Amino acid sequence: MQITLETIDRVAGAIRSKIKDQPRLGLILGTGLGNLAESVEEPVILPYAEIPEWPVSTVMGHAGRLVIGRLEGQPVLVMQGRIHYYEGYSMQQVTLPVRVMQRLGIEILIVTNAAGAINPDFTPGDVMLITDNLNFSAMAGLNPLIGPNLDELGPRFPDMSQSYDRRLCELARQAARQADLPLREGVYVGLSGPSFESPADLRFLRLAGADAVGMSTVPEVIVARHGGTRVLGFSGISNKANLDGNTVTSHEEVLEAGRILVPKLETLIRAVLRVL
Ligand code: HPA
C-alpha cells in the first residue's frame, strides 16, 4: 500500500492537535531502551493505537506510545517502541512515523537500537556510535522509497553519503569524553529478522565491514535523509554475535542488556541535547 502525503499530513495533524510546542527532535527508542522516555518532562502521552494509521508495535520490550515533551529544555517527540518490518508491516508503514516527524517540523532524528556485536572487540553493554550503515534489505529490494516519489518531501534519488551527520557524531564523541564514557564507533548492518543470523551470515557480514547487526534503523534513516532530516544513531550492544556457532542468542538477553545501556544512552543523548 502506497502511503500518500495526505495520509502523512492527517496523522501529523492528529498529533499536532494534542501538543503545545512543535517538537524539534525525534527520538526512536530500540528494544529494551524504552525507559529513556521516562525522563521526558511535561509529557503528553499518545498510545500508538490511538493515533490514526500509526502502526502498532507488537514486540515485547516496546511500549508502543509517543511521549512528547521536553528533554534538557529541547522539545522532543519520543517513540517509546518502534515498528519493525518483521512484524508484517510494509517498509512504508515502518517509516511512516519518520514522515510524520518531518511534517511536524522535526530537524534532527536520534535513532537507537539494540544490536549484536560482530566486531570482536565489542562486548555487551557497550554503546556504539553509528558512523555508517549497510542495508542488505534495501540492496535486496526492500527500500522504503520504492514507489512513486513524494517530491514535496525529497528527491527521487537521494544521496546517502553522510547518513549519520558528522557534526552530530562529533558532539556525541565530545559528550562521551566529558562523561568519561567509552564510546565505540562503527558500521551497523540492518537485516529484516526476525530470525537471528547464522554463524555463516555473521562471518559474511564481518567480511562486508559490519561492526554491529540488528533488525531496524536503516529504513528510518533512509527516509529521514530523503527528507533532509539530520540523523544521529547509537547501537546499544546487547550480545556478542555468534560467529563461531557456540553460543545461543535470545531476545531475553537483548532486553536484559537494555538495563545497563539505558543510563549510558541517556547520559550521551542529554549531553548532546544540551549543546544543540
Ligand atoms: N542480531 C540481530 N539483531 C539483534 C541482535 C543480533 O545479534 N541483538 C540485538 N538485535
pLDDT along the chain (276 residues), means of 10: 90 94 94 83 93 83 85 95 92 96 97 95 96 90 93 95 97 95 97 93 96 96 98 95 78 81 92 93
How far is the centre of ligand 1, averaged over its atoms, from the C-alpha of 99 (Å)?
A: 26
- Residue 116 has a pLDDT of 94
Burial of 135 (0-12, 13-18, 19+ CB in 10 A): buried
Distance 240 CA to ligand 1 centre (A): 9
H, E, C per residue of the chain: CCCCHHHHHHHHHHHHCCCCCCCCEEEEECCCCHHHHHHCEEEEEEEHHHCCCCCCCCCCCCCCEEEEEEECCEEEEEEECCCCHHHCCCHHHHHHHHHHHHHCCCCEEEEEEEEEECCCCCCCCCEEEEEEEEEHHHHCCCCCCCCCCCCCCCCCCCCCCCCCCHHHHHHHHHHHHHCCCCCEEEEEEECCCCCCCCHHHHHHHHHCCCCEEECCCHHHHHHHHHCCCEEEEEEEEEEECCCCCCCCCCHHHHHHHHHHHHHHHHHHHHHHHHHC
Task: Tell me the C-alpha distance between 262 and 213, whole Å.
Answer: 19
How far does the centroid of ligand 1 lie from the alpha carbon of residue 254, in Å?
A: 8
- Euclidean distance between CA atoms 228 and 129, whole angstroms: 20
pLDDT in the model for residue 227: 97
- State which amino acid sits at residue 113: N
Ligand 1 mean position, distance from CA 221 (Å): 18
Instruction: Report the distance separating Cα 194 and Cα 187, nearest Å.
Output: 20
Question: What pLDDT, on the 0 to 100 scale, is given for residue 89?
Answer: 93
Buried b (16+ CB within 10 A) or exposed e, 158-187: beeeebbbeebbebbeebbeeeeeebbbbb
Q: Considering only CA atoms, which of 74, 67, 59 is closest in space to residue 216?
A: 59
Amino acid 127 reads: V
- Cβ atoms of 254 and 114 closer than 8 Å: yes
Q: How far apart are CA 135 and CA 143, in angstroms?
A: 9
- Grid coordinates belonging to 22: 512543535
Tell which phi-psi region holds residue 80, choosing left (phi > 0), alpha (psi between -120 and 50) or beta.
beta
* pLDDT for the residue numbered 62: 62
- Write out residues with Cβ below 6 Å of ligand 1: 114-116, 196-197, 213-215, 238-239, 241, 249, 254
User: Ligand 1, closest atom to CA 249?
Assistant: 7
Q: Whose CA is nearest to atom 3 of ligand 1?
A: 214
Query: Does the domain made of 5-275 have the CATH classification 3.40.50.1580?
Result: yes
Residues in the chain: 276
